[in-house]
Chain A
Amino acid sequence: MSLTTDDVKKIAHLARLGIVDQQMNDYARDLSAMLDLMAQMDNLDTTGILPMAHPMDQTQRLRPDSVTETNQREAFQAIAPQTEAGLYLVPKVIE
């Protein structure tokens, strides 16, 4: 299967990932090659095989619904690029 540069642009947008125009062809080529590799799986009939999510088929553990974490806003915001009054700052979203 082959992807075009337009496909790559679309996927990059979905991933919110900036790709410079000069590299679009390279990514289209590499991703197409990866898809060809993955196409090897098509030859195998997997009808009725249960998808495997955990090697030991373990399910998520449950815990009591009680507070275990303390508020560490200051520690977490100390490493943020931009904060003000306890809030994360981003470019204006609503005019």
Chain B
Amino acid sequence: MHDKTLAELATGLKTREFSSVELTHAYLNRIQRHQALNAYITVTEERALAQAQAADDRLAKGEGTALTGIPLAHKDIFCTLGIKTSCGSKMLDTFTAPYDATVVERLDQAGAVMLGKLNMDEFAMGSSNETSFYGPAHNPWNSECVPGGSSGGSAVAVAARLAAAATGTDTGGSIRQPAAFCGITGLKPTYGRVSRYGMIAYASSLDQGGPMTRSAEDAAVLMQVMAGFDPKDSTSVALPVPDYRASLDDSLAGLKIGLPKQFFSDQLDSRIAKVIQDAIADYQKLGATIHDVSLPSLNLAIPAYYVIASAECSSNLSRYDGVRFGYRCQNPADLTDLYTRSRGEAFGAEVKRRILMGTYALSAGYYDAYYLKAQQVRRLIRDDFKRALTEVDVLMGPVTPGTAFKIGAKTADPLQMYLEDIYTIAINLAGLPALSLPAGFVEGLPVGLQVIGDYFAEARLLNIGHGYQQLTDWHLQAPVQPTQEDL
């Protein structure tokens, strides 16, 4: 049951092959058996079974949508009314959200069942899930390795079949990199396509929610419900949402693929390069043509990103003051002590680094040198992409410079961790959509292919992903499930 696609599950539910309650129990049992993967921060068993019962009632009446009765899970960055929403931080360990995120509300209305809340890097700051207050989630392909981050728990849950699909968020690669490390499909939509309302903010001009699934087709099903204009999000874009499934089978003949030369430099592991080249050769079999393109400002994406993301983070996270919600220190001597100690005791090291960095970059006298400069570089990077995307339909390249690394291997040097996102970060700066597809393995660990499209070209990206997944079976590979005793 847990190996079925979302479309197969929907058919099974509609034809009463199984009920949503049975399906939900099956997933809850799997979650229980694979606790050692640490994918979930909170399992909402009671609520899930109540939602499943309601879904079964709805289905019995012949009502329901493509997601009614299907068990999903949310990254713990999405606010869920009355349920702990931790954002992977001690700061919000006792926080119960007073409202639902729009993404959560939309999926609830579609009748999806929420199994629980998924592990993540603290406040989505990290590329390995190791900055989580709840400890790292483990990669199901090798439990000694990281699952990537920040949506690490989401990637683990989908890869290990602990949820039929999951939500994630991507500020600098946080959907695509864990999707690549865990061998699943992840879509980072265009900035403004999916509502950010109720999605705990890290860097507001970069954050974007999206689906993490086992196939492009599943991503289309989830995206259909997640996407759309939301008046509660001031940066939400009011454009109609296309039918993402309708164009999945469109021909890829004549597709113009651009290969940015900066994506294939010496920094790329040659074994990963080989996987990507093979995938591109598969696209040529489907009728695509290959073109060289250049993104000359790309090398400045990481410095620009860490200025902008840190600056926005320091501003966003100033709301955690120990007064209105979240962690409060014991016996504060005065108001400054209350702020300082509450924040000092509840934020982890990576969050602190970025708050300090952002505070410095925005402090008097430094604004022009850092934030303004980074915003100018950001425009040059965006213009590079726009230029390239007038020459070709999509860009392709790797998602990550290597495969999943060992837990602890990169924690000593924060900068080394930042370089993990070298192929993903620029896309957030440009605000473009990008898809991560499983494209092969290196020494038993999955490798992801990245497909970058023009603004609001999600349907085309999913079509391109689906075409590849009709030709190959990388997305059907499942990790051998480690049992509790193995870990």
A58 at the interface (CB under 8 A from B): yes
B259 at the interface (CB under 8 A from A): no
Q: B340 and A90: CB pair below 8 A?
A: no
Contact B378 A52 (CB under 8 A): yes
Find out whether the CB atom of A38 lies under 8 angstroms from the CB atom of B356: no
CA–CA, A17 to B313, complex, Å? 13
Known: A11-B363, A38-B306. A16 touches B339 (CB 8 A): yes
Is residue B43 contacting chain A, with contact meaning CB distance below 8 A? Answer: no
Is the pair B375, A52 in contact by a Cβ cutoff of 8 Å?
Answer: yes
- Chain B, 306-361, CB within 8 A of any chain A CB: 306-307, 310, 314, 318, 321-328, 332-341, 343-345, 347, 349, 352-353, 355-357, 359-361
Chain B residues in 8 Å Cβ range of A20: 344
Are A8 and B356 touching (Cβ within 8 A)? yes
Assess the B359–A60 pair: CB atoms within 8 A: no
Interface size class of B (residues with CB under 8 A): 35 or more
By the criterion CB–CB under 8 Å, are B335 and A19 in contact?
A: no
Q: How far is the CA of A38 from the CA of B414 in the complex (A)?
A: 14
Which single member of A14, A16, A46 contacts B377 (CB below 8 Å)?
Answer: A46
* Contact indicator A90/B98 (Cβ below 8 Å): no
CB proximity of B131 to chain A, nearest CB, Å: 14
Chain A nearest CB: distance from B272 CB in Å? Answer: 23
> Do the beta carbons of A58 and B343 come within 8 Å of each other?
no
B98, B191, B326: which contacts A55 (Cβ < 8 A)? Answer: B191
- B302: chain A residues at CB < 8 Å are 37
B480 interface residue per 8 A CB criterion: no
Q: Is B262 an interface residue (CB 8 A)?
A: no
- Mask: chain A, 65-85; 1 = CB below 8 Å from B; 0 = not: 000000010011011111000
B residues 372-398 in Cβ contact with A at 8 Å: 372-380, 382
In chain A, positions 14-51 with a C-beta closer than 8 Å to chain B are 14-20, 23, 27, 30-31, 33-34, 37-42, 44, 46, 49-51
CA distance A80 to B94 in the complex (A): 10
- What would 6 A/B residue contacts be, using CB atoms closer than 8 Å? A7-B360, A15-B355, A38-B374, A39-B303, A50-B379, A91-B333
Taking beta carbons and an 8 Å cutoff, which residues of A are in contact with B?
3, 7-8, 11-20, 23, 27, 30-31, 33-34, 37-42, 44, 46, 49-56, 58, 60-61, 63, 72, 75-76, 78-82, 88, 90-93
